[in-house]
């Protein structure tokens, strides 16, 4: 259905589809891409989120059924609790998906992955000056040594290793090439660039990917696929992920509904639907399961989906009867980009404040009902009455109470509360060293 519907409209001369113009099809566009889900790695970093094992298992099983190629199930080296949770998932059976887990560039993190029975891992490390100087506090040579040794150690113990360059979008091109070449020489089988703070724009993404690809040796280019991991701080994660695909990237890191730390990650449903319907690229995803997966994720994460969220929001395929909908009744795609049934949804029409008397009369006539002007006025009063009589102040109060309840679900403590707890338990007043702000001026870490 999704392969032919737009072609039929084009053939009939009813629409122009600029997406299909040969000039708009990048030469390096792949025929097939693979979705790497990061909901259990990135998604759970969203404030208030905590997933029970049962919730994780249900989500992972549905992701498997949906056709997601790879699921990152967590970071075993983070804590003993995380390690136990990952191990339980590893012991489950999955039909289509491959499980992976994250690790830092250290023997201890690799060992944690080995202990839980992982067969594939993502070794994550940064390699730019900002991270080396202020977070890792090591030299570039030391960082490269750690990366190489951790990959070699993992390979020696039978693990399939993917290397993820954290903050890769703010790393010098020559350094990206150097660390990627070293990672592959050590045994990495996939290379990922992470736009960790969502700093790229689409043309910059295409520039970076193309220059990285061109800068790598022929041996690396031929055998090692590239991956992209885009955060959504500027609302460009989907656009940047698609831009990377236009340059030939085939492994795409996404998160269901875009959940994740700060503004989240590239939303799974947006990336997949755009690739399938706008690019005609095979993602391996059963599109009819997308909406059900989003609903289960919303329930498990206890975070509401925006009503106007693309693809899976409540109002995405909802239309109030007005002049536009009159046209839509003649053809469903008049005011919809694609049939909602493709992703397991259906269109919803409602009569509301913007439905005029003439339109209402037309609806009744099409249903074979003759109504007098007085009867139409009465119907409209019943339609508009509930909205006009609604106590909006009470509704707003309820809305803010719900927001407050969601905030109270947050498990952690804000830093002032944390330090008060430390002082209470240890009977010691913390001393805060000075750090520097973006302008290089000292500021307290408290």
pTM of the model: 0.89
Give the residue among 173, 129, 177, 120 at the shortest CA–CA distance from 151. Answer: 120
Beta strands in 168-297 (DSSP E): 190-195, 226-230, 251-254
For 328-350, the three-class secondary structure string (H helix, E strand, C coil) is HHHCHHHCCCCCHHHHCCCCEEE
Q: What is the pLDDT of residue 182?
A: 98
Domains with residue ranges and CATH for the chain: 27-301 (3.20.20.70), 415-444 (no CATH)
Q: What is the pLDDT of residue 409?
A: 66
Q: Are strands 190-195 and 160-166 parallel, antiparallel or unpaired?
A: parallel
**Whole-angstrom Cα distance, residue 384 to residue 317?**
22
Averaged over successive runs of 10 residues, the pLDDT of the chain (446 residues) comes to 77 90 90 97 84 95 98 96 96 96 98 98 97 95 98 98 98 98 98 98 98 96 96 98 98 97 96 96 98 96 92 91 64 86 90 73 82 86 69 79 74 76 86 62 51
Q: What is the pLDDT of residue 406?
A: 72
Measured distance between the N- and C-terminal CA atoms of the chain, rounded to whole angstroms: 57
Residues with Cβ within 8 Å of residue 141, at least 6 apart in sequence:
none
**Whole-angstrom Cα distance, residue 208 to residue 214?**
10
């Amino acid at each position: 259905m999704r392969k032919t519907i737009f072609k039929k409209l084009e053939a009939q001369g009813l629409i122009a589809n600029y997406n299909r113009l040969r000039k708009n099809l990048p030469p390096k566009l792949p025929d097939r891409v693979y979705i790497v889900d990061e909901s259990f790695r990135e998604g759970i970093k969203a404030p208030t989120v905590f997933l029970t094992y049962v919730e994780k298992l249900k989500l992972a099983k549905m992701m498997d059924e949906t056709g997601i190629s790879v699921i990152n199930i967590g970071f075993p080296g983070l804590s003993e609790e995380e390690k136990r949770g990952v191990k339980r998932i590893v012991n489950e059976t999955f039909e289509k998906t491959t499980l992976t887990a994250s690790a830092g560039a250290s023997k201890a993190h690799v060992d944690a992955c080995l202990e839980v029975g992982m067969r594939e891992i993502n070794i994550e490390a940064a390699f730019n000056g900002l991270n080396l100087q202020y977070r890792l506090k090591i030299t570039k040579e030391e960082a490269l040594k750690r990366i190489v040794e951790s990959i070699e150690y993992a390979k020696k113990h039978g693990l399939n290793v993917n290397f993820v360059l954290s903050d890769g979008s703010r790393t010098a091109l020559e350094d990206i090439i150097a660390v990627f070449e070293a990672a592959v020489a050590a045994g990495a089988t996939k290379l990922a660039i992470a736009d960790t703070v969502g700093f790229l724009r689409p043309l910059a993404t295409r520039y970076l990917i193309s220059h990285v690809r061109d800068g790598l040796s022929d041996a690396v280019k031929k055998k090692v696929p590239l991956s992209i991991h885009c955060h959504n701080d500027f609302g460009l994660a989907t656009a940047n992920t698609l831009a990377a695909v236009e340059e030939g990237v085939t492994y795409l890191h996404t998160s269901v509904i875009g959940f994740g730390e700060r503004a989240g990650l590239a939303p799974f449903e947006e990336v997949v639907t755009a690739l399938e319907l706008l690019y005609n690229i095979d993602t391996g995803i059963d599109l009819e399961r997308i909406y059900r997966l989003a609903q289960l994720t919303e329930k498990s994460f206890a975070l509401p989906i925006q009503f106007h969220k693309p693809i899976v929001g409540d109002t995405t395929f909802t239309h109030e009867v007005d002049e536009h909908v009159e046209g839509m009744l003649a053809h469903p795609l008049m005011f919809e980009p694609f049939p909602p049934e493709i992703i397991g949804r259906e269109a919803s029409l409602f009569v509301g404040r913007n439905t005029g008397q003439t339109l209402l009369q037309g609806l009744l006539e099409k249903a074979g009902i003759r109504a007098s002007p007085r009867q139409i006025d009465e119907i409209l009063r019943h339609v508009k009455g509930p909205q006009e009589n609604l106590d909006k102040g009470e509704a707003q109060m309820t809305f803010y109470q719900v927001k407050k309840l969601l905030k109270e679900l947050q498990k952690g403590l804000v830093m002032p509360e944390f330090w008060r707890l430390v002082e209470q338990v240890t009977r010691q007043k913390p001393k805060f060293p000075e750090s520097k702000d973006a302008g290089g001026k000292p500021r307290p870490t408290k």
